[in-house]
Amino acid sequence: MKKKSSTAKWSETETQAWIGLVKAQQHLLDKVEEELKKAGFPQLNWYDVLWELESAKDGSLRLNDIGKKVILDKHNVTRLVQRLESEGLVSRSQCPVDGRGIFACITDKGKKLRRQMWKVYEKVVRENFLCKYNKKELNEFRNFIERIQASGLSDSV
Amino acid sequence: MKKKSSTAKWSETETQAWIGLVKAQQHLLDKVEEELKKAGFPQLNWYDVLWELESAKDGSLRLNDIGKKVILDKHNVTRLVQRLESEGLVSRSQCPVDGRGIFACITDKGKKLRRQMWKVYEKVVRENFLCKYNKKELNEFRNFIERIQASGLSDSV
DNA sequence: CCATACTAGTTGCATATGCAACTATATAGG
DNA sequence: CCTATATAGTTGCATATGCAACTAGTATGG
């Protein structure tokens, strides 16, 4: 019955820091989505998967691992990869050592698309986020952020 | 044909600052969703709408304005508010001055639910985000963030 | 070697979302 | 006052997502 975890516990500053962070990022990502669509490209989560694949060894990952890197449940990974495959952006193959495992491997077409999408993505982030800060600040920023990740939160990355 | 907006343009620091920000927040929000579900509460976007309503004058907003505050297209606002209404969390009423307008007004039940959800929400954010920083840092952080909002991005807030 | 428990991935169903077409009101121009 | 155009909100349809049940392969323990 102690007055714990009640709304009053947070000062304005704290609350604002969090809400500001969420809103700012939502707006930014929203804008990225908008620009991608405008340019005729697919959604951000396609980009995320392609990016994870491209930066992985051999350009391939097991579906399960994709799900961990990107924030998606297995079900959605299965279907997202199906869609990517039907567009020729990735290819699927059995895992030789684990009969259950399926690898998704990014194709040249997939790499090309990712690169094109990145141009759009990068532009939005640069013009609305990066350009507001100098190197030193971005460094500080990154350090800030890393402290969050340092806790058990990032089971991946 | 100049080598502009190519991937190479960003240094590691810059890229990492952005990617870290996105991932950290995704993980955090994901965890909030998880905890809300575990506690038997509805999704975060219900919370967001309830929160906007409760902090608005008279606890009510026009659907259109909700859509601007929360990041949702009109279509979804209509239907989200319908769902909220069917749960008795908000009530709808015609706008007296604009025949097209519909107000959504948070009910006592809605306020109560929001408060309960906030406890869960707050806990996750406090334990995974706020507790990593001191007041001064949070202040800096907020200032950082505000620079993003300062640009045309926040048509609302 | 067989039974049990676990994990990877898939599929079906209910629900949520995005998009486009539609209704009704409001605003602007002749 | 009447037409043209824009805006608020709704609805229908296609698609995407979450959840639970299912299949197939793996690991453990007798």
Dump pLDDT digits (tens) for B38-89.
999 999 999 999 999 999 999 999 999 999 999 888 889 999 999 999 999 9
Interatomic separation, CA of residue B113 and C1' of nucleotide D11, rounded (Å): 29
Q: Amino acid letter at B135? A: K
Structure confidence at residue A7 as a pLDDT band (50, 70, 90): very low
Number of structural domains found in chain A: 1
Q: Which helix (H) or strand (E) holds A119?
A: helix A108-128
A128 CB-to-strand D distance under 7 Å: no
Supply the range of the domain harboring residue A46: 36-123
Residue of A nearest to B17 (CA): A142
The length of chain B in residues reads 157
Mean pLDDT to the nearest integer, A76-94: 96
Phi-psi sector, A5: left (phi>0), alpha (psi -120 to 50), beta? left
Name the closest nucleotide to B68, judged by C1' and CA.
D8
Beta strands A90-94; A60-62: pairing state = unpaired
| B79 part of a folded domain | yes
Give the 3-state secondary structure of residue A45. Answer: helix
Q: Do A117 and B102 meet the contact criterion of CB atoms below 8 Å apart? A: no
| B93 part of a folded domain | yes
Mean pLDDT to the nearest integer, A63-90: 94
| B80 part of a folded domain | yes
* Residue B80 Cα distances to A101, B42, B60, angstroms: 39, 12, 15
| A74 touching chain B per CB within 8 A | no
| B3 part of a folded domain | no
| A8 part of a folded domain | no
Which has the higher per-residue pLDDT, A152 or A84?
A84
Name the closest nucleotide to B45, judged by C1' and CA.
C16
The conformation of residue A90, written as its DSSP 8-state character, comes to E
> Given a cut of 70, is residue A5 above it in pLDDT?
no
> Given a cut of 50, is residue B7 above it in pLDDT?
no
CATH number, domain of A108, equals 1.10.10.10
Structure tokens at A3: 């007055």
> Given a cut of 80, is residue A10 above it in pLDDT?
no
Enumerate the residues of chain A whose CB falls inside 8 A of the CB of residue B132: 147-148, 150-151
pLDDT of residue B150: 63
Q: Amino acid letter at B58? A: D
> Given a cut of 60, is residue A152 above it in pLDDT?
no
Which region among A58-62, B11-15, B107-111 has the lowest average model confidence (pLDDT)?
A: B11-15
- Summarize pLDDT for A105-139 with one digit per residue, the tens: 999 999 999 999 999 999 999 998 899 888 888 88
| A21 part of a folded domain | no
pLDDT of residue B116: 95
> Given a cut of 80, is residue B128 above it in pLDDT?
yes
| B62 part of a folded domain | yes
